[in-house]
Chain A
Amino acid sequence: MRVCMLFIMGFLVFFGYSQNKETLYDFIDLPQSLLLNPGAEVRFNYHFGVPFLSQIHVNVGLKGASLYDVFADDGRNINDKIESTLHKLTSDDYLTVTQQLELLSFGWKSKKNEKIYFSGGIYQELDVIGYFPKDFAVLAYQGNRDFLNQPFRFSSISGSAELLAVYHFGYTKKVNKSMTFGARAKLYSSMFHVRSTKNKGTFATIETPQGRNIYQHVISNADVTLKTSGYRGLKDLEGKEIVNKLIGRAFLGGNLGLGIDLGFTHKINEQLAITGSVNDLGMIVYSKDVETYRARGNYVFEGFETPIRFSGESPENFLDELEEAIPLDTLSTTYITMRPLKFNGSVKYSFNKYDDGTCNCYLEGEQPPYQDAFGVQLFSQFRPKRQQYAASLFYYKRFFNFLRTKLTYTIDDYSYNNMGFLLSTHIDKINFYISANNLLEYTNLAKARGASLQLGFNIIM
Chain B
Amino acid sequence: MNVKKTFVLLCVLCVVVSSISCVKDVDFDQTEDVVLTPVFEIDFVYSRFNTDRFVNPEIDPSIVVPEVFVNDTLDYDLLGTDFIVDNLERIELTFEFRNTIERDFEFTLGFLDDNGVQVGPFNRITVNAGNGEGVTPVVTTEVIVFDNATINILATAAKLISTIQVQNINSSLGGILEMRSKGTYFINYDL
Q: What bracket does the count of chain A residues touching chain B fall in?
A: 35 or more
A409 to B9, CA, bound (A): 24
Query: Is A442 a contact partner of B72 (Cβ separation < 8 A)?
Result: no
| CB–CB B25/A443 < 8 A | no
Check if B41 sits within 8 Å of A71, measured CB to CB. Answer: no
CB of B21 within 8 Å of the partner chain: yes
A365: interface (CB < 8 Å): no
Give the nearest-CB partner of A7 in chain B: B23
A303 and B181 within 8 A (CB): yes
Residue-wise interface mask of A (302-346) relative to B, using a CB-CB cutoff of 8 A (1 in contact, 0 not): 111111111000011100000000000000000000000000000
User: Chain A 135-148 against B: per-residue CB contact (8 Å), 1 yes, 0 no?
Assistant: 00001111111101
Interface residues on B, range: 35 or more
Tell me the complex Cα distance, A141–B82, Å: 19
Find chain A residues with CB under 8 A from B37 CB. 79
Q: Which residue of the partner chain B has the closest CB to A77?
A: B33
The reply to whether B45 and A142 contact each other, CB–CB distance below 8 Å, is: no
Give the B-binding residues of A (Cβ under 8 A).
1-5, 7-8, 67-68, 71-74, 77-79, 82, 139-146, 148, 205, 212-217, 301-310, 315-317, 400, 402-403, 423, 425, 427, 432, 434, 436, 442-446
Q: Which of B21, B41, B180 has the most chain A CB atoms closer than 10 A to its own CB?
A: B21
Instruction: Give, as a whole number of angstroms, the nearest-CB distance from B52 to chain A.
Output: 9
- Contact check, A446 vs B21: say whether CB atoms are below 8 A apart: no
Q: Contacts A3-B22, A212-B46, A315-B75 hold; do A141 and B38 have CB atoms under 8 A apart? A: yes
* Residues of the B chain whose Cβ atoms lie less than 8 Å from the Cβ of A79: 33-35, 37
Q: Does B149 contact A (CB under 8 A)?
A: no
19 contacts between A and B (CB under 8 A): A4-B18, A5-B22, A72-B25, A79-B37, A143-B38, A144-B39, A144-B41, A213-B180, A213-B182, A214-B182, A302-B43, A303-B43, A304-B46, A305-B45, A307-B71, A310-B49, A315-B74, A316-B74, A432-B10
CA distance A215 to B26 in the complex (A): 43
Whether, in the assembled complex, B122 has its beta carbon less than 8 Å from a beta carbon of chain A, the answer is no
Q: Which 6 A-B pairs have the closest CB atoms?
A: A303-B43, A143-B38, A307-B72, A5-B21, A73-B27, A213-B46
A217 touches B42 (CB 8 A): yes
Q: Is the interface of A mostly helix, strand, loop or mixed?
A: mixed
Chain A residues, Cβ within 8 Å of B3: 402, 427
A310 CB to nearest chain B CB (Å): 5
Closest Cβ neighbor of A320 among chain B residues:
B75
Known: A68-B26, A72-B26. A142 touches B38 (CB 8 A): yes
Q: Report the bound CA distance from A73 to B28 in whole Å.
A: 9
Of all chain B residues, the one with the shortest Cβ separation from A139 is B38
> Residue of A at shortest CB range from B31?
A78
B17 within 8 A of A: yes
Name the residue of chain B whose CB is nearest to the CB of A307.
B72
Which of B33, B72, B160 is in CB contact (< 8 Å) with A78? B33
A-side contacts of B75, CB under 8 Å? 315, 317
Interface string of B106-130 (1 = CB under 8 A from A): 0000000000000000000000000
Task: Decide yes or no: A4 and B22 within 8 Å by CB, A213-B43, A305-B47 being known contacts.
Answer: yes
Q: Are B17 and A306 in contact (CB under 8 A)?
A: no
Q: A82-B34, A304-B74, A400-B1 are in contact. Are A68 and B43 (CB under 8 A)?
A: no
Evaluate whether A215 and B182 lie within 8 angstroms (CB atoms) in the complex, with A78-B33, A403-B6, A446-B26 already known. yes
- Residues in chain B within 8 A of chain A (CB atoms): 1, 3, 6, 10, 13-14, 17-18, 20-31, 33-49, 53, 70-72, 74-76, 94, 96, 160, 162, 164, 180-182, 184-185, 187
Per the bound structure, the CA–CA distance linking A62 and B23 in Å amounts to 15
Chain B residues with Cβ below 8 Å from A446 are 23-26
Q: Measured between alpha carbons, how far is A213 from B180 in the docked complex, in Å?
A: 5
Roughly how many angstroms separate A306 CA and B160 CA in the complex, as a whole number?
10
Could you say which residues of chain A place their CB within 8 Å of the CB of B71? 307
Q: In the complex where A141-B38, A306-B72 touch, is A3 in contact with B23 (Cβ < 8 A)? A: yes
Q: Which residues of B contact A77 (CB under 8 A)?
A: 33
| Least Cβ–Cβ distance between B140 and chain A, in angstroms | 15
| C-alpha gap A315/B35 in the complex (Å) | 37
Check if A144 sits within 8 Å of B40, measured CB to CB. yes
Within 8 Å by CB of B30, from A3, A71, A145, lies: A71
Q: Are A425 and B6 neighbours in the complex by a CB distance under 8 Å? A: yes
Shortest Cβ gap from B14 to chain A (Å)? 8
Please give, as numbers and ranges, the residues of chain B lying within 8 Å of A305 by CB-CB distance: 45-47
Known pairs A307-B162, A310-B49. 19 more at Cβ < 8 A? A1-B27, A5-B18, A67-B23, A71-B30, A141-B36, A143-B38, A143-B187, A145-B39, A213-B180, A215-B43, A304-B76, A304-B160, A306-B47, A306-B74, A309-B72, A400-B1, A443-B21, A444-B25, A445-B21
CA distance A436 to B37 in the complex (A): 40
CA distance A460 to B28 in the complex (A): 44
Complex: A225 Cα to B182 Cα, angstroms: 31
Chain A residue at minimum C-beta to C-beta distance from B28: A71
Min distance, Cβ A20 to any Cβ of chain B, angstroms: 20
Determine the distance from Cα of A111 to Cα of B3 in the docked complex, in whole angstroms: 32
Q: Which residue of A lies closest to B185 (CB)?
A: A143
Decide if A310 touches B20 in the complex (CB within 8 Å): no
Q: Write the nearest CB–CB distance from B27 to chain A, whole angstroms.
A: 4
Interfacial chain A residues near B14, Cβ < 8 Å: 434
- Within 8 Å by CB of A143, from B24, B39, B70, B162, lies B39
Of all chain B residues, the one with the shortest Cβ separation from A83 is B37
Least CB distance, B177 to chain A, in whole angstroms: 10
Cα of A172 to Cα of B37 in the assembled complex, Å: 60
Contacts of A445 in B (CB 8 A): 21-23
Closest residue of A by beta carbon distance from B13? A423
A168 CB to nearest B CB, Å: 30
